[in-house]
Amino acid sequence: MKKLEGKVAIITGCSQGLGKYIALRFAEEGAKVAICARTADKLEKTAEMCRQAGAEVFSKAIDLCSYEDIKGFVDDVVERFGTIDILANNAISIKPPHPFLDHTEEYLDSVMKGGFYATWRLMKLCFPYLKDKKSSIINFGSGVGIRGMEGYAAYASCKEAIRGLSRVAAREWGPLGIRVNVLCPAAITDHVKDTLDELDETTRKYVIASLSNNSLKRPGDPYEDISPVAVFLASDESQWITGQSLSVDGGVNIHS
């Protein structure tokens, strides 16, 4: 039997990168997938990949900074599939790294609304459908926040806020059957792959070497390395795990 057979999963930020590959892996494992992102044409490509994998798919382009868009999406998912069993809060949008003193409050607001607030809102809106059964919320942190990497003041703050919220919800919602865990991934995204193709050989090798600065000495792959762990956290195989932050990064954090 497929690990997510018959379960309904919401995954956010599925137009590209990690969200796309988690949606595909969930589809391959038998889940009915409800996906959202801001860019409709890219989102439809992900939806088609999931359909080709045999999944029932609901997709909708929304602005995750908008409460009304989020609520409408959740309502549509429940109308389509009847319930929600898995929530994977992957989406966030950030700018390239820049010093804390150059961060504006407008930028902070955008990161928090699209990341922390979207996670907060989706958790509350999905709660009535997740409770009183075996269900799973997978939130997304980052080694950037855990290690406090330079240039990421807003992003790191957002990700650490998500980890704090996840621990509280794990305690409060555990008796109701809801597990809440945080996945902290490190992998080459589609954007990075496209960028690598445009670089000269010397620069490309340097970037790959930087991305391989971990115990396994290679870059992570979203589909091969990250999405199977998301499946594990979504499935009943992780039924005794909640309130945890799992670094899926090839061992980066043990070198911090």
Catalytic residues: 155
In the block, tokens 């597990």 appear at 179
What's the CA gap between 151 and 158, in Å, rounded? 14
Measured CA distances, 43 to 17, 20, 99, 128 (Å): 11, 8, 32, 27
Axis-axis angle for helices 201-211, 190-198 (nearest 10): 150
Edge to edge, the sheet with strand 135-140 lists 57-61, 32-37, 8-12, 86-89, 135-140, 178-185, 245-248
What the block records as the tokens of 65 is 């900074």
Give ∠ CA 18-23-28 in degrees, rounded to 5.
Answer: 125
Which of the 8 DSSP states describes residue 236? G
- Burial status of residue 241 (CB atoms within 10 A of its CB: 0-12, 13-18, 19 or more): middle
Q: To 10 degrees, the CA torsion angle through 160, 239, 23, 67?
A: -50
Contact 194, 145 (CB under 8 A): no
Half-sphere exposure of 218 (CA within 13 A, CB side): 6
Q: What is the dihedral of CA 35, 38, 40, 44, to 10 degrees?
A: -30
